Amino acid sequence: MASLNLPPHSRKTRRRAVGAYVFLDAVISLAILVTLTVLLGVALGQQRQATRHLADTREAVRIAEATLQGLRDKSATNEERRASANSSPDVHISIAPLSLTPQSSTAWAQITVVCRTGRATLVGPVRHAAEVRP
């Protein structure tokens, strides 16, 4: 009950102090809200970039598998395979022989595909060594 007997200027000071605390609390809350919003935006951007990279890597693996299968089946010539795979300017395929044995009709090839931000390397046997030459 002692607060009731305070002079009028004392009550004003107390109200100002309470108002200052409320204002400070509001400013800090807004700063936290802005920080969390920025962090969420950055996280969403990184997630989108990672999703794009994963999709590009999957596409590169699919192209590498199709190229290796084409080399195994000898279904198309090197020029036809490269023309179909390189129809997109973002796809680059390189085929390199790993070991050539003159006695055998089977050779090993390394196929490297770069598709935008994704990259895939696949090694496998192919039928004819002549098909592996870059």
How far is residue 8 CA from its own chain's centroid? 65
**Regions in the chain scoring below 70 on pLDDT:** 1-12, 74-87, 100-105, 128-134
Q: Tens digit of pLDDT for each residue in 87-120?
A: 677 899 999 988 766 666 678 889 999 999 999 9
- Read off the DSSP letter of residue 25: H
Buried b vs exposed e over 86-116: b needs ≥16 C-beta within 10 Å? eeeeebbbebebeeeeeeeeebbbbbbbbbb
Q: Provide the number of structural domains found in the chain.
A: 1
Give me the pLDDT at residue 105, please: 67
Range of the domain at 8: 2-132
Cα separation, 28 vs 12, in Å, equals 24
Give me the pLDDT at residue 117, please: 93
